[in-house]
Structure 1
Amino acid sequence: MDAVPGTGARLGLLLAWLAVLAVAGWALGRGLRVEEDLRRFLPTPRTPAQVLLVDELGEGPGSRALLLAVSGAPPQALAARSQALHDTLATRGEIALAANGDHGGLDAVPEHLRPYRYLLSPTLDTQPLDAAFLRDELEQRLQDLGSPAADLVEPLLPSDPTLETLRLAELWQPANAPQRRHGVWFDRAGAQALLLVQTHAAGFDSAGQQAAVAAIGAAFAAGVQDAPESADARLEISGPGAFAVAIRDRTEREMRWIGTVDTIGLLLLLGLAYRRWSMPLFGALPLASGGLAGLGAVALLFDGVHGITIAFGFTLIGVAQDYPIHFFSHLRPGQSPRASVRALWPTLVTGVIATCIAYATFLFSGVEGLKQLAVFTVAGLAVAAGSTRWLLPRLVTPARRDPADSRVLARLWHGVARLPRPRAALALLAALALAVIAFAPGAFWQNDLSRLTPVPPADLQRDAQLRAELGAPDVRYVLAVQGDDAEAALQASERLPPVLQRLSGEGVLDGYDLAARYLPSIATQRARQAQLPDTPQLRQALDEALADLPFHGDAFDPFVDDVATARAADPLTPGRLAGTPLELAVSGLLLEGEGHATALVSLTGLHDPAALAAAVAPLGAQLLDLKDASESLVAQWRVRLLAALAAAALLLAGVVWLALRSPRRVLRVLAPMALSTLLILAVLRGLGVELNLFHLVSLILAAGLGLDYALFFDHAGDDRDEQLRTLHAVIVCSLVTLLVFSLLALSSIPVLRAIGGTVALGVLFNFVLALLIARAPAAERAP
């Protein structure tokens, strides 16, 4: 019999183990870079629409847009509150752009770009900068100076007598912008002041979006000082970022209470099962070691660890909690812990290797997120199993009682032993499950990613209302024009506005927006530059225009200088817009890659996609359906995952065969897992559940649990005491796992609900079927 370490040695090992975990956790906490870019979990896009969708998910303006509505006060008070909010947000680092219709401010055209106004504005396309035009504009300025607009016009007059700056500001207002009241945007009913905000944080950056939402809330709260009459006003924030923040908060709240209940339940179950306070602590050590090892392995092999990898990884290595439970249930008086674990090790390592092979197939999926998940789970399970084998036995003392001596367990096993071998019934059950899977009504796969969002339908409907009020672009359809570079793409897109304006008049769409609206192509800028008069010509035209007008000729020297600057300047390019509001508008509609560029045209109120696609096709533009692209991308992801699962199934069967070397035993071990998978799918399909990617990942975990149950029932052979200990272990494992995943099944988060429900069903089916199939036949038992 192996010597049992003394109390001091056990305490030293425990403290050393805890210290290593603490240091590893501290090191990972300091150096771990957590990513939240959803594109890491998407396959490589193939079609133009898929490429655009992936870019939009990460960096596109749609993912950065937040829609704000202020209500609950008189219109004038709401306008004041809107303006105070706008002015505060303009100074916040989290906010890239805030718009509320107040185009009187000159922030729409940055100071250093104002000399370029005639290159950016379409005025010179139809109107020369001659004496007649200047005369007409100066006469209008005289009228403006005598109007309420004088305070706005007077500062601009010396450098911009034609007010081209304001024309640009008006041109750059969002297409189909809402009505203005008291100088700011309002909804059609006049009951809500509206704002459109774009964040610096990308759409996938939930932490950045959370900071932006918090900044908006703080700015709104501070605005009551500038508009005390609107103290009762309410702020609504909608858009992808706001939804992401709400989902994150909601998920964290649910995971906190689920984690609390899980922890209490786990402690009670293990305490009741083993009646030793140390068992819950010792049982958690291999799982904690595996989790930290998985994180460390991903951190070493990848640039960062994705948040989904962490969440799914800890879920998938949950099977590792069964390893110490099997060990504890096989402890008995008169046998050292190390001898107990040695007897279990062949069976345990078979299950570990088979499960690791299943997850390792993700390495060949072509999806970086799944590769991270494979590394996490394989490293985590290996370390959890290794620590159960070599460290845990040195911590525990021999058991004072043998689970095989339990009268309750003996009566239960006696009842189980009398159960028949329902071979024909199980075959019939499998056939019935296949029939339900094949013929149940409704779609088999769920391709619509929006169905996975826990955002309440009322909030989604409200978001659609705000988008309609603000004239925000359609989130499904977009036009794309390809080019070898940004200049080619811009030139190609400049051919579209006449056709789009005609279609708008015909009711095909309500509005559109494109990068060339903010940044014309270099060719267009050169053409406008050629229309600018030189300095002597401009001064002569200005002198003629000023005749009999009460302006001093030298008052417009800044205007002459600006025109001279624009005439000699190099045309503006996307790179020269850095740090300006135009950068955000252009970068979202002009995507530059290596050796190619895409100019996008966002659409508002598209009523006839087919008519639009047919009209723009001769101009080289393509109408992209991002919803269709998302569904095809999901289907592509699923094909990769299913291929990985098929390979994993073959490898898993091969590992079990090498371990058992008996066709009969191999069949008894694999059959419960295979039939459980069919039954899970049949129940889900029978309930009308459309299967998504999270169901598939959950099926892998359920299969891993079922394999372990069957392997240990097979390991028990025909020895009655071993059978009782195995039954004890599997009952404890099943109850612990069932508790965790049943709580997840009660979640309001669709993803958590899909995982929880699938695995909970798997635990039940695998437990029952392992008892019916994998236990040794009665004829093989010793009398």
Structure 2
Amino acid sequence: MRPGARIALAALWLAILLVAGWAIARHLELSGDLRRFMPSARTPEQKLLIDELGEGPGSRLLLVTLEGAPPGTLAAQSHALRAALSRDARFTLVANGEGGLEAFPERLRPYRYLLSPTLDTQRFDAAYLTEQVQARVADLGSPAAALVEPLVPRDPTLETLVLAESWEPATAPQRIEGAWFDRAGKRALLAIQTRAAGFDPTGQRDAVAAIASAYARAKGAKPGALSMTGPGAFSVEIGGRTEREASWIGMVDTIGLLVLLFVAYRNCKIPLLGALPLASAGLAGLGAVALLFDGVHGITVAFGFTLIGVAQDYPIHFFSHQRAGVQPYASVRALWPTLATGVVSTCIAYATFFVSGVDGLEQLAVFTIVGLGAAALATRFLLPALVDPDLRDPAQSAFLERLRTWVARLPQPRIAIGVLALVAAAIALFAPGPFWQNDLSRLTPVDPAALARDAQVRDELGAPDVRYVIAVQGRDVEDALQRTERLGVALEQARTQGWLAEFESAPQYLPSMHTQRARQARLPTPQALRASLDVAVAASPFRSDVFEPFLQDVDTARRAQPLVPADLAGTPLQVRVDGLLSQRDGHATALVSLVGLSAPDKVAALVQREGARLVDLKAASESLVVAYRERVLWALGLAAVLLIVAVRIALGSTQRAWRVLAPMAVTTLVILAALRIAGVELTLFHLVALILAAGLGLDYALFFEHAGDDREEQLRTLHALLVCSAMTLLVFALLGLSSIPVLRAIGVTVTLGVVSNFVLGLLIARHPHRETA
């Protein structure tokens, strides 16, 4: 093909990639819900964990502190911030200690007699009403008059305030000028609940930005500083740090790879041509996932582009084997059986993820398999048309010749390799310390100081325990509420015993219909209430008609239907109840959050007698990790069997198959031993990295074996594998320097794999050199 035609074809290929990228970007829906990378929950505790992680109030809660100014200034800033965010649809709750009546909207005020526990022990008779009216007379002559006076005509028993106070946590922080402050009185505190779910990184990022912007306006030119903690704030911080690290790692990688390719081939076209199959792989994989799945997870994209890094080796093998006098299509045709064997074998490993039952892993499998296939086909059928047939022959290199001569002197041990495998296996199995890491919190890159600050703010605010929660199951919402009310009696006993400081449950905000009807039955008839009220008013300075609104509200409460969750829509009460009560799949679950739990075993036994469960969310998360890992290990075991069969069939010889598979198998043991010696507890990300390292090892060994004993073919193969391993080493060594545990785990694991696979491939898979006449 003439140079002009090659340029035109390259431009057409690039244009197609740009159009495909534009089309995919338009229809791509990225998801940040980590639950897609979790196995299906099997136990009630695991189901509760999955629901709470994504949708629970704890995952939506941002804790805000204001400091750096006098208390009066901080209180004013707190009130201004609350006022601004309360009007923002991105937030469902903004609490700073200001007032309490806002949680009880006007349209629900008549229902206060059905929600308040007063009628459980009192009746609205003449004696009780006389006592309450006299108390209001005293209140109107006290400093509290401004608060009480607007309520008296409609609510002489102050049931509204009784409810507002009961909805305040017993461990609420102190108030200064109506705003929450820490014990030292130096930091103003706010609790803000986002509408976005915990696993919605975009929503959480918008919420965090909105809070910062609103505070900047509220603060103005006055002193003060804002800080945020909580799952959403941490996810935004992690996302920002990951983006910054990915940016500089990507920049260094790109420059390094371009320089490496230019040095390796002394041709400025090669870096550009080599990028086309890789770009094709990425877009093909991304497009396939977008087509087959409802939303593409961000982890799929990140992992996918890392895993198809194997595809960068395909054009390199072709470039290194191309030489003057041989048509490019002839060169790639000679490589194709070995290249195809590597592609098929690697894809087999990822295909086993389809039996994992995990949506995220299935996405990852589709991305990788389609991407590798696209890169291989592009290298086989498209790339040769763009390459100059007179490309410099890499075999013509004095350095390579000296290196090949040195390599030829290396022994090809078998017994020593067997001993190495046994020693590595023993170290991996018997090194001290846990083998697996099951604690998801240990994987967080959040600064320990930030976690400590979060714990301190939660303690100041009296926020619920994030580890333990009580779950009450019911046939429906009403059944769950009644069961939770009965459980509340037992929990009051636990609080008296000092086993916990406080608890919060849905019936505190919305009693069951059974309880509401019982209170309704205790309300007097309009005639009886008016007679009792006349007696009470006669002994007071109030006019006889001042309490008409009270009479109307009681009559409304007597005739009203009991409140149900749907009646709370659009109110702050809805937020509180929705976080503690849910209905799914024909049953309802009520949660009881705990504060200051000091005797979990005793509380667990107590609630069990009431038919409820104390759920340890940490234990549930660990059991979920174990279940996830078991599925992945089963998939990898199946992949190993299929891989052995595929390589044996492709090579047609057990001895050749052994030489190709042995470096990969021994390298896996060496990596495990190295990680265990370093005290690393293995995670799922190490397993994914082991698969990637195994794919690289298979590729190296296949091409060492393919080179046979021909001198020039060995030189070209050595050149190709040196370039491939150097490029991969650069990418993953930089990842190994990351502060993000997930990226570091992948980087370190693959870096070890590249070095070990290359060395063991040389020792095991290469043929002895045969001198030619």
Name the TM-score class by shorter chain: over 0.9
1:16 aligned residue: 12
Q: 1:191 aligns with which of 186, 189, 198?
A: 186
Q: How big is the alpha-carbon RMSD for the aligned residues of Structure 1 and Structure 2?
A: 1.4
Q: 1:262 aligns with which of 246, 253, 260?
A: 253
Q: CA deviation at 1:136?
A: 2.3
Q: 1:219 aligns with which of 214, 220, 223?
A: 214
Query: Matched residues in 2 for 1:607 and 1:480: separation?
Result: 18
1:711 aligned residue: 702
| TM-score w.r.t. length of structure 2 | 0.98
Do the aligned residues in 2 keep the contact of 1:39 with 1:54 (CA within 8 Å)? yes
Query: Matched residues in 1 for 2:108 and 2:370: separation?
Result: 55
2:117 aligned residue: 122
Q: 1:142 aligns with which of 128, 132, 137?
A: 137
1:233-277 deviation per Cα after TM superposition (whole angstroms, max 9, x unaligned): 221211111101100001001000000000000110001111111
1:89 aligned residue: 85
1:317 aligned residue: 308
Query: Matched residues in 1 for 2:209 and 2:554: separation?
Result: 44
Q: 1:578 aligns with which of 569, 580, 601?
A: 569
Do the aligned residues in 2 keep the contact of 1:175 with 1:513 (CA within 8 Å)? no
Do the aligned residues in 2 keep the contact of 1:103 with 1:170 (CA within 8 Å)? no
Matched, 1:287 2:278: yes
Relative to structure 1, the CA distance from residue 276 to residue 553 in structure 2 (aligned partners, 3 Å threshold; closer, same or farther) is farther
Q: How does 1:65-76 map to 2 (within 5 A)?
A: 65-76=61-72
Consecutive unaligned residues of structure 1, counting only runs of 5 or more, are none
The SS at the match of 2:227 is: strand
Query: Matched residues in 1 for 2:487 and 2:684: separation?
Result: 40
Query: Matched residues in 2 for 1:155 and 1:279: separation?
Result: 81
| TM-score w.r.t. length of structure 1 | 0.97
Q: How does 1:328-339 map to 2 (within 5 A)?
A: 328-339=319-330
Matched, 1:612 2:603: yes
Q: How does 1:350-749 map to 2 (within 5 A)?
A: 350-749=341-740
1:133-154 deviation per Cα after TM superposition (whole angstroms, max 9, x unaligned): 2222222223333334333323
Query: Matched residues in 2 for 1:413 and 1:493: separation?
Result: 77
Query: Matched residues in 1 for 2:187 and 2:391: separation?
Result: 72
1:281-335 deviation per Cα after TM superposition (whole angstroms, max 9, x unaligned): 1111111111111111111111110111111111111100111111111110001
Q: How does 1:23-172 map to 2 (within 5 A)?
A: 23-104=19-100, 106-172=101-167
The SS at the match of 1:704 is: helix
Relative to structure 1, the CA distance from residue 175 to residue 372 in structure 2 (aligned partners, 3 Å threshold; closer, same or farther) is farther
Query: Matched residues in 2 for 1:399 and 1:534: separation?
Result: 104
The SS at the match of 1:67 is: strand
Do the aligned residues in 2 keep the contact of 1:69 with 1:193 (CA within 8 Å)? yes
Do the aligned residues in 2 keep the contact of 1:178 with 1:471 (CA within 8 Å)? yes
Which residue identity lines up with residue 356 of structure 1 in the other structure?
Answer: C
Q: 2:175 aligns with which of 173, 180, 184?
A: 180
Matched, 1:250 2:266: no
Which residue identity lines up with residue 50 of structure 1 in the other structure?
Answer: Q
Do the aligned residues in 2 keep the contact of 1:175 with 1:512 (CA within 8 Å)? no
Q: CA deviation at 1:781?
A: 6.2
Query: Matched residues in 2 for 1:450 and 1:400: separation?
Result: 53
Do the aligned residues in 2 keep the contact of 1:103 with 1:166 (CA within 8 Å)? no
Larger deviation, residues 625-634 vs 566-575: 566-575
Query: Matched residues in 1 for 2:125 and 2:4: separation?
Result: 98
Which residue identity lines up with residue 730 of structure 1 in the other structure?
Answer: L
- The percent of aligned pairs where both chains have the same amino acid is 65
Which residue identity lines up with residue 202 of structure 1 in the other structure?
Answer: A
Query: Matched residues in 2 for 1:471 and 1:649: separation?
Result: 52
Which residue identity lines up with residue 690 of structure 1 in the other structure?
Answer: E
Do the aligned residues in 2 keep the contact of 1:70 with 1:194 (CA within 8 Å)? yes
Consecutive unaligned residues of structure 2, counting only runs of 5 or more, are none
Do the aligned residues in 2 keep the contact of 1:158 with 1:555 (CA within 8 Å)? yes
Q: CA deviation at 1:501?
A: 1.9
The SS at the match of 1:191 is: coil
Query: Matched residues in 1 for 2:279 and 2:139: separation?
Result: 73
1:348-388 deviation per Cα after TM superposition (whole angstroms, max 9, x unaligned): 11111111111011011011111111111111111111111
Q: 2:2 aligns with which of 1, 6, 22?
A: 6
Which residue identity lines up with residue 738 of structure 1 in the other structure?
Answer: L
Relative to structure 1, the CA distance from residue 553 to residue 399 in structure 2 (aligned partners, 3 Å threshold; closer, same or farther) is farther
Which residue identity lines up with residue 644 of structure 1 in the other structure?
Answer: A
Q: CA deviation at 1:782?
A: 5.1
Which residue identity lines up with residue 217 of structure 1 in the other structure?
Answer: A
Which residue identity lines up with residue 250 of structure 1 in the other structure?
Answer: R
Matched, 1:203 2:198: yes
Larger deviation, residues 600-609 vs 693-702: 600-609
Which residue identity lines up with residue 497 of structure 2 in the other structure?
Answer: E
Q: CA deviation at 1:633?
A: 0.3
Query: Matched residues in 1 for 2:13 and 2:574: separation?
Result: 53
Q: 1:274 aligns with which of 238, 253, 265?
A: 265
Which residue identity lines up with residue 742 of structure 1 in the other structure?
Answer: A
Query: Matched residues in 2 for 1:13 and 1:130: separation?
Result: 94
Query: Matched residues in 1 for 2:114 and 2:4: separation?
Result: 83
Query: Matched residues in 2 for 1:459 and 1:89: separation?
Result: 24
Which residue identity lines up with residue 374 of structure 1 in the other structure?
Answer: A
Q: CA deviation at 1:586?
A: 1.1
Q: CA deviation at 1:179?
A: 2.0
Which residue identity lines up with residue 94 of structure 1 in the other structure?
Answer: R
Relative to structure 1, the CA distance from residue 781 to residue 652 in structure 2 (aligned partners, 3 Å threshold; closer, same or farther) is farther
Do the aligned residues in 2 keep the contact of 1:175 with 1:511 (CA within 8 Å)? yes
1:17-69 deviation per Cα after TM superposition (whole angstroms, max 9, x unaligned): 11111111111111111111111111111112111110011000110111111
The SS at the match of 2:150 is: helix
Q: CA deviation at 1:174?
A: 2.8
